[in-house]
Amino acid sequence: MGSDWSALERALAARVVSASRVSGGDIHDAWRVELADARRVFVKTARGAGDAEVFPCEARGLSWLAEGPLRVPRVLAVEPGFLALEWIERARPARDADEALGRGLAALHRLGAPGFGLDHDNFLATIRQDNTREHDWATFYGRRRLEPLLRAAVARGAGTPAMVRAVERVIAELPRLCGPAEPPARLHGDLWSGNRMHDEQGAPVLVDPAVYGGHREIDLAMMQLFGGFSERVFDAYDDAFPRAAGHEARVPLYQLLPLLAHAVLFGRGYATSAEDAARRALSA
Report whether 154 contacts 168 (CB < 8 A).
no
Report whether 175 contacts 137 (CB < 8 A).
no
DSSP per residue over 23-77, as a string?
A: S--SSSEEEEEEETTS-EEEEEE-SSS--TTHHHHHHHHHHHHTTSSSB-PPEEE
* Spatial CA neighbour of 58 closest among 77, 33, 34, 32: 77
CATH architecture of 6-86: 2-Layer Sandwich (3.30)
Residue 215 has what pLDDT?
A: 98
Residue 52 has what pLDDT?
A: 87
Q: What are the residue ranges spanned by the domains of the chain? A: 6-86, 97-283
C-alpha span between 60 and 66 (Å, rounded): 10
* Spatial CA neighbour of 198 closest among 268, 76, 93: 93
Residue 201 has what pLDDT?
A: 97
Range 97-283 classified under CATH 3.30.70.980 = no
Residue 1 has what pLDDT?
A: 53
Residue 51 has what pLDDT?
A: 79
Residue 71 has what pLDDT?
A: 98
Q: Cα–Cα–Cα angle for 161, 167, 172, nearest 5°?
A: 125
Report whether 207 contacts 171 (CB < 8 A).
no
Residue 3 has what pLDDT?
A: 58
First to last CA, the chain: 50
From residue 94, give the alpha-carbon distance in Å to each of 101, 108, 128, 203.
Answer: 11, 20, 35, 6
Known catalytic residues are 190
The DSSP symbol for 270 reads: G
* Spatial CA neighbour of 270 closest among 225, 227, 215: 225
C-alpha span between 181 and 179 (Å, rounded): 6
C-alpha span between 115 and 93 (Å, rounded): 34
Q: Is 199 helix (H, G, I), strand (E, B) or coil?
A: coil
Q: What is the mean pLDDT of each run of 10 residues along the chain (284 residues)?
A: 82 97 82 97 82 94 98 97 96 98 98 98 96 98 98 95 98 97 98 97 98 98 96 98 98 98 95 97 94
Residue 28 has what pLDDT?
A: 87
